[in-house]
């Protein structure tokens, strides 16, 4: 597989998972950098994974369309959110650094504030996303942009972070009290977790913040020791190095495979040391919680 230089990823979480026409328009806006799209009607949330030399322009185009077409006041879904363009993390891949991601974060937030009048809360080194969710407009003011929410778009959390793996484990029986108890037990510096009712099901929704140390197999086993699991669901993409640490015999059980690695999608999109391209996939939800 090729090596990639100076590639940033951007994993945009949009508070819309039901309007196919809007989602198609957003994907079209981001097509120059689009690696993957994940949509969930129950969460009413979609995740657009972007990467490459066009990533910042694609993120801006997608965000502008979402702010123009979506209204947070009409949004209903189970996932926590502060805005229609809820979370915009920039992620360093091979050849780039967290400093590069921070710079992209700051450029994006300045643009969103100036061009869209969108309040932006910054997260990354020194501040975690859950802190933004708890404190936004309570005792934490936006870092950039208006001091009050946009009338239809709310606000955005714009971040810089390392790669994480978003992962959902559906429980059987569907007992949300059990899911919430498990989520509370699993939370750690390596794991963010929520217990949620989604439609007729219940899930433990996980962000595996350090997937090299605590990845999908460890998460599955930790939850399985506390409840029967109906199914596992990888949300978006995972690093090839994380997949390499999972025995192939467990790939189906854990809902992972080589075609769903970041590296495979970069290869599919024709991205290398600075060339750009686009490729879309489809599936589910979440990204950053």
Residue at token pair 């429980």:
171
Structure tokens at 251: 């790939």
Q: Which residues contact 264 (CB under 8 A, 6 or more apart)?
A: 240, 258
The rounded distance, in Å, linking the Cα atoms of 227 and 231 is 12
Summarize the confidence of residues 267-277 as an average pLDDT.
Answer: 57
How high is the pLDDT of residue 16? 92
Contact 116, 149 (CB under 8 A): no
Q: Is the pLDDT reported for residue 273 higher than 60? A: no
Q: Is the pLDDT reported for residue 4 higher than 70? A: no
Domain ranges of the chain: 8-160, 165-258
How high is the pLDDT of residue 269? 82
How is the chain split among helix, strand and coil, in percent rounded to 5?
35, 25, 40
Q: How far is CA 170 from CA 167, 188, 232, 249, 268, in A?
A: 10, 20, 6, 20, 30
Which CATH fold would you assign to the domain 165-258? Alpha-Beta Plaits (3.30.70)
Q: Which residues are catalytic?
A: 79
Higher pLDDT, 78 or 261: 261
The rounded distance, in Å, linking the Cα atoms of 194 and 187 is 9
Instruction: Write phi, then psi, for 174 (nearest 5 degrees).
Output: -85, 80
Q: Which one, of 118, 116, 159, 108, lies nearest residue 142 by Cα?
A: 118
DSSP 181: H
Q: What is the pLDDT of residues 218-259, one digit of tens each?
A: 999 999 999 999 999 998 899 999 999 999 999 999 999 999
Contact 27, 34 (CB under 8 A): yes
Q: What is the pLDDT of residues 134-193, one digit of tens each?
A: 999 999 999 999 999 999 999 999 999 999 999 999 999 999 999 999 999 999 999 999
The rounded distance, in Å, linking the Cα atoms of 285 and 233 is 10
Q: What is the pLDDT of residues 62-84, one digit of tens each?
A: 999 999 999 988 877 667 789 99
How high is the pLDDT of residue 77? 67
Q: What is the pLDDT of residues 98-145, one digit of tens each?
A: 999 999 999 999 999 999 999 999 999 989 999 999 999 999 999 999
**Whether the domain at 8-160 and the domain at 165-258 fall into the same CATH topology:** no
The rounded distance, in Å, linking the Cα atoms of 114 and 169 is 40
Q: Confidence class of residue 287 from pLDDT cuts 50, 70 and 90?
A: low
- What's the CATH number for 8-160? 3.30.990.10
The rounded distance, in Å, linking the Cα atoms of 239 and 33 is 18
Summarize the confidence of residues 42-46 as an average pLDDT.
Answer: 84
């Amino acid at each position: 597989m090729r090596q990639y230089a100076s590639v940033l990823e951007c994993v945009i979480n949009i508070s819309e998972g039901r309007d196919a026409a809007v989602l198609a328009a957003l994907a079209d806006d981001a097509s120059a950098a689009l690696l993957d799209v994940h949509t969930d009607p129950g969460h009413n949330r979609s995740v657009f994974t972007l990467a490459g030399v066009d990533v910042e322009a694609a993120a801006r185009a997608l965000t502008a369309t979402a702010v123009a077409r979506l209204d947070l006041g009409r949004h209903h879904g189970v996932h926590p959110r502060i805005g229609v363009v809820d979370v915009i993390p920039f992620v360093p891949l091979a050849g780039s650094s967290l400093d590069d991601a921070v710079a992209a974060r700051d450029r994006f937030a300045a643009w969103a504030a100036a061009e869209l009048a969108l309040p932006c809360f910054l997260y990354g080194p020194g501040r975690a996303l859950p802190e933004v969710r708890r404190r936004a407009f309570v005792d934490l003011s936006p870092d950039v942009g208006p001091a009050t929410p946009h009338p239809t778009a709310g606000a955005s959390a714009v971040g810089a972070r390392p790669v994480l793996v978003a992962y959902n484990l559906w429980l059987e029986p569907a007992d949300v009290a059990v899911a919430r108890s498990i989520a509370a037990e699993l939370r750690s510096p390596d794991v963010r977790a929520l217990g949620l009712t989604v439609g007729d099901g219940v899930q433990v929704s996980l962000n595996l913040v350090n997937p090299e140390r605590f990845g999908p197999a460890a998460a599955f086993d930790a939850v399985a020791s506390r409840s029967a699991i109906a199914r596992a669901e990888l949300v978006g993409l995972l690093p090839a190095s994380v997949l390499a640490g999972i025995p192939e015999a467990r790939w189906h059980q854990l809902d992972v495979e080589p075609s769903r690695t970041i590296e495979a999608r970069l290869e599919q999109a024709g991205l290398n040391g600075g060339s750009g391209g686009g490729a879309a996939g489809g599936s589910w939800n979440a990204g950053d919680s």
